Structures are given as structure tokens and as C-alpha cells.
């Protein structure tokens, strides 16, 4: 049996979204003979932790078959260790997702944040693993569309799909050669969505796939940056080989955000105050910065500190796509009706931010660029207190007399953190 699942994006008007399409197709038994694990590996309970039982002798599971990621780690420990701290692993359990889902009062987002929930028994622990091994490695095809990701999950024949086409079948599962897993089309399954608006029109929500497709990096797949290949074992005991993908999704060393931007800051004296001009350039990201959910921000901060290190003046600017509701107030995407502003930085583009510090020259000026997972106003409205921030760039210019105050203007390069 092949289950074709259309992941329904959330926030479609006022009514709870419905599944638009679910196609069930029967595959002849001889097309997947012996695809299920044998012996203990075919059991639904016990040590395996699988969510269904293989149908012995048919090559097909009697129901969708899904194992928890920890079981996959027995052979693929490298991938598990990288994945377990990723956004995919937290897709259905993060505080931000839980709050926004409850606030939206719509289950549609589960189609991408908990794709297995619709196919496994209620409360099954594999469903709670978000975008887990059994999701990506059971994707057979993807339809690219703005209405929300549509992807075909094959959960009953126990073939695990991936980019390696020379891997041999294993007793635990068969191997599926999938060129799709080397293409950006795979990512479009859940990284492209425009919310239909009541009365017509659509609101851009997840546009990173289109940003990549229309940008200068369209010749390189998303995986080349987010899942670069290194020399390692695909499975325990298989021997090292080149091109084994990293599963942390932020590059080989987890620093994709910090490497995306370059910047410099110029400090000038102006009318008894300090004018801080920060120029940022998107050097490496093949999409806009920030991208993903429109609630994300890149914050440019300038802080002036006195001789004792106390803050005497500060200013900041938040870069991002700002969505607002019908009253013009900043709102999460599922309550928003239009884009109020968008000053994100496109691939190979630059953005200048000007900040004013109401203070005299005798200070130390610290400039920092920070990535923030959710805009402060929206986080407050949703009562999310612990919002992830990551320092991207930083530099300090000492303008204090005791340090031999330099003449202004002064320009400093921002350093990657």
C-alpha cells in the first residue's frame, strides 16, 4: 500500500482546514518482496519499538510501519546525533510551535510538524518526534505548490529512500535510490506556503524555496549548504565513504547563520550624539536573511557604555518580514492579513541600518547582529518567554578618552561569533 499524503498548512481562513487529498494505491506483493524486517525486527512491540507489525511473507506491512529515531541510531548513530538537536527533531515539541498551534486552534500545521500523526495510533511516540527519520526517508515524491507542501509517504513497504544508489539491501530494511533526496524539491515539501486570505489573495509565509529558486544559488541544491557531505560511515561497520550528509541542517559545523552575513559599522559624531551606520551583506545564504517563518528577526543592536561598563545609551533595528492583522498590529502569520514591511536581505544584497545613540563621545560602542527565533512583540503576545537568540556578528569601538580616543568617523569590521 502506498499512502499519498498532502500536508495541510495551517491558518486557512476561519474554518479548520481539511485534508485536501488522500490517495491509497495497492502495490502488487511481488513488487516489494521481503521488504519488511525479519524476525525480531518485524515486531511491533518489544525491543524494536516499531509502530506496526510486518506481514510475514508478503513484503508489505499490515499497517504503516515506523520506528523511533533511537532505533535507527543503532546503525546510523552519526546521523542521529546530528539530527536530535536540529529544528526537525523539535518540529512538533518546541515551545514556540506548541504555543502557536494552540493559539491558532487549527491542526493543519501537524501535516509538516508531525507528519506521522495522521498514520499512526494516537499517542504513538514516533509521531511526537516531529520530522524524524521515518518521514524524510519514506518520502517518494513531492509536489511543489504554494498551497502547502504535498508529499508522498511510503510507510508500508519498508524501503528507506536516500541519495545513495549503490547501497545494498539490509535485513532490517531495503534501500531505495532517490535522486529526489539530492534536490531542493525535497525541501519544498514543507518550506513553501502562502496562506489563502478570506475574500481572495494570499499571504507569503514560507518562501525560502522560491527565494532560492529565483536567486543566484539556484544551481546548488539546498542540501549542499544545509546537509553537506563529509567522509564518514553511512552505517556502523559499512566503512567510510565520501559524501555522507550531515543531518543537523545548519552545515557541517552548525554555523550557517553566522557565516551568512558580513558587515561593518561606521561611527560618526553628529549633533552631540553618535550615529552608527551598520552595513550588512548576505554573502552566502541562497535565500533571504532571515527566512523561514515571518516571525523570525535579525536584530542590529548598538550599545554605548561608560567608564564603569554601565549602559548609557542603546538602540536597535529589527530586520524581517512584518505581518499585521486587520487593525495593523503585528501578528503571527495565521492571524495576519497583509505584509506591512519587508527589509530582509536577499542573496548577494546589502542593507544599511542607521542607529542613533544619544550620548557624548566618551564611551565604548558595541555593535552586535543577532538572529532571533520570534519577534519580541509576538513572543510576548503568545507568552513565550524563552526565545532562542544567536549572536552572528560583533565589534567594539573604544571612544573613551582614557584609551586615547580616536577621531571620528571610525569604521570597524564586524567579526563572526
Tens digits of per-residue pLDDT, 68-115?
Answer: 999 999 999 999 999 999 999 999 999 999 999 999 987 788 999 999
How many CA atoms are closer than 13 Å to the CA of 52, on its beta-carbon side? 22
Cβ atoms within 10 Å, residue 167: 16
Domain with CATH 2.60.40 in the chain: 256-416
- Selection from 328, 248, 247, 261 nearest residue 290 by Cα: 261
**Whole-number pLDDT of residue 55:** 33
Backbone angles phi, psi at 109, to 5 degrees: -65, -20
Q: Provide mean pLDDT across the span 239-247.
A: 95
**Whole-number pLDDT of residue 297:** 98
User: In this model, does residue 39 exceed pLDDT 60?
Assistant: no
Estimate to the nearest angstrom the gap between the alpha carbon of 102 and the chain centroid.
20
**Residue pLDDT, tens place only, 144-185:** 999 886 899 999 989 999 999 999 998 899 999 999 999 999
Q: Please, is 414 exposed, middle or buried when counting C-beta atoms within 10 Å of its C-beta (0-12, 13-18, 19+)?
A: buried
Asked if 262 and 280 touch (Cβ cutoff 8 Å), the reply is: yes
User: In this model, does residue 38 exceed pLDDT 80?
Assistant: no
Helix (H, G, I), strand (E, B) or coil at 10: coil
Enumerate long-range contacts of 270-274, CB under 8 Å, 24 or more apart.
Answer: 272/360, 273/356, 273/357, 273/358, 273/359, 274/304, 274/313, 274/356, 274/357, 274/359, 274/361, 274/363, 274/365, 274/399
Provide the CATH number for the domain formed by 256-416 in this structure.
Answer: 2.60.40
Q: How far is CA 146 from CA 71, 80, 107, 250, in A?
A: 35, 31, 19, 25
Helix (H, G, I), strand (E, B) or coil at 102: helix
- Selection from 122, 106, 112, 118 nearest residue 88 by Cα: 112
Cell of 33: 518482496
Cell of 314: 542603546
52-61, 268-277, 293-302: which has the minimum mean pLDDT? 52-61
CA–CA distance, 322 with 342 (Å, rounded to integer) = 6
Q: Tell me whether the omega of the peptide bond preceding residue 325 falls within 30 degrees of 0, making it cis.
A: no
Q: Provide mean pLDDT across the span 336-363.
A: 95
Cell of 152: 508522498
User: In this model, does residue 36 exceed pLDDT 80?
Assistant: no
**Whole-number pLDDT of residue 34:** 36
User: In this model, does residue 395 exceed pLDDT 70?
Assistant: yes
98 vs 3 pLDDT, higher one:
98
DSSP 81: H
Q: What is the DSSP string of 170-226?
A: -SS-EEEE-GGGGSGGGGGGTS-EEEEPTTS-EEEEE-HHHHHHTSTTTTS-HHHHH
107 vs 139 pLDDT, higher one:
139
Confidence class for position 20, pLDDT limits 50, 70, 90: very low
**Whole-number pLDDT of residue 405:** 67
Estimate to the nearest angstrom the gap between the alpha carbon of 279 and the chain centroid.
26
Helix (H, G, I), strand (E, B) or coil at 19: coil
Estimate to the nearest angstrom the gap between the alpha carbon of 192 and the chain centroid.
12
Helix (H, G, I), strand (E, B) or coil at 208: helix
CA–CA distance, 248 with 226 (Å, rounded to integer) = 8
List the beta strands (DSSP E) in 114-201. Answer: 139-143, 150-153, 159-162, 174-177, 193-196
Name the region of 214 (left: φ>0; alpha: ψ -120 to 50; beta: rest). alpha
Asked if 178 and 170 touch (Cβ cutoff 8 Å), the reply is: no
Asked if 164 and 242 touch (Cβ cutoff 8 Å), the reply is: no
- Selection from 411, 414, 417, 360 nearest residue 390 by Cα: 417
Amino acid at each position: 500500500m502506498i499512502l499519498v499524503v498532502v500536508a495541510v498548512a495551517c491558518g486557512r481562513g476561519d474554518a479548520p482546514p481539511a485534508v485536501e487529498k488522500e490517495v491509497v494505491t495497492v502495490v502488487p506483493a511481488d513488487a516489494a518482496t521481503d521488504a519488511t524486517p525479519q524476525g525480531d525486527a518485524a515486531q511491533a512491540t518489544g525491543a524494536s519499538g516499531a509502530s506496526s507489525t510486518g506481514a510475514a511473507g508478503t513484503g508489505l506491512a499490515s499497517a504503516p510501519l515506523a520506528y523511533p529515531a533511537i532505533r535507527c541510531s543503532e546503525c546510523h548513530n552519526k546521523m542521529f546525533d546530528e539530527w536530535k538537536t536540529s529544528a526537525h527533531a523539535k518540529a512538533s515539541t518546541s515551545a514556540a510551535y506548541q504555543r502557536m498551534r494552540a493559539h491558532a486552534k487549527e491542526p493543519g500545521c501537524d501535516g509538516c510538524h508531525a507528519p506521522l500523526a495522521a498514520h499512526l495510533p494516537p499517542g504513538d511516540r514516533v509521531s511526537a518526534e516531529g520530522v524524524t527519520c521515518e518521514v524524510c526517508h519514506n518520502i517518494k515524491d513531492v509536489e511543489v505548490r504554494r498551497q502547502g507542501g504535498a508529499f508522498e509517504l511510503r510507510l508500508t513497504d519498508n524501503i528507506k529512500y536516500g541519495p545513495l544508489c549503490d547501497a545494498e539491501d539490509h535485513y532490517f530494511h531495503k534501500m531505495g535510490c532517490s535522486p529526489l533526496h539530492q534536490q531542493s524539491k525535497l525541501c519544498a515539501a514543507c518550506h513553501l506556503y502562502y496562506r489563502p486570505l478570506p475574500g481572495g489573495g494570499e499571504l507569503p509565509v514560507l518562501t525560502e524555496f522560491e527565494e532560492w529558486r529565483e536567486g543566484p544559488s539556484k544551481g546548488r541544491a539546498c542540501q549542499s549548504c544545509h546537509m553537506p557531505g563529509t567522509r564518514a560511515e553511512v552505517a556502523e561497520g559499512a566503512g567510510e565513504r565520501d559524501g555522507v550528509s550531515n543531518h543537523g541542517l545548519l552545515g557541517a559545523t552548525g554555523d550557517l547563520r553566522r557565516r551568512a552575513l558580513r558587515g561593518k559599522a561606521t561611527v560618526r559624531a553628529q549633533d552631540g550624539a553618535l550615529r552608527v551606520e551598520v552595513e550588512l551583506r548576505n554573502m552566502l545564504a541562497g535565500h533571504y536573511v532571515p527566512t523561514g517563518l515571518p516571525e523570525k528577526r535579525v536584530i542590529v543592536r548598538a550599545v554605548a557604555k561608560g567608564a564603569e561598563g554601565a549602559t548609557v545609551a542603546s538602540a536597535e533595528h529589527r530586520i524581517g518580514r512584518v505581518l499585521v492583522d486587520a487593525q495593523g498590529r503585528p501578528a503571527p502569520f495565521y492571524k495576519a492579513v497583509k505584509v506591512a514591511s519587508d527589509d530582509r536581505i536577499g542573496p548577494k544584497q546589502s542593507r544599511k541600518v542607521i542607529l542613533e545613540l544619544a550620548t557624548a563621545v566618551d564611551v565604548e560602542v558595541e555593535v552586535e547582529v543577532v538572529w532571533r527565533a520570534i519577534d519580541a512583540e509576538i513572543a510576548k503576545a503568545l507568552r513565550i518567554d524563552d526565545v532562542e537568540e544567536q549572536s552572528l556578528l560583533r565589534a567594539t569601538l573604544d571612544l573613551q578618552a582614557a584609551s586615547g580616543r580616536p577621531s571620528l568617523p571610525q569604521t570597524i569590521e564586524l567579526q563572526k561569533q
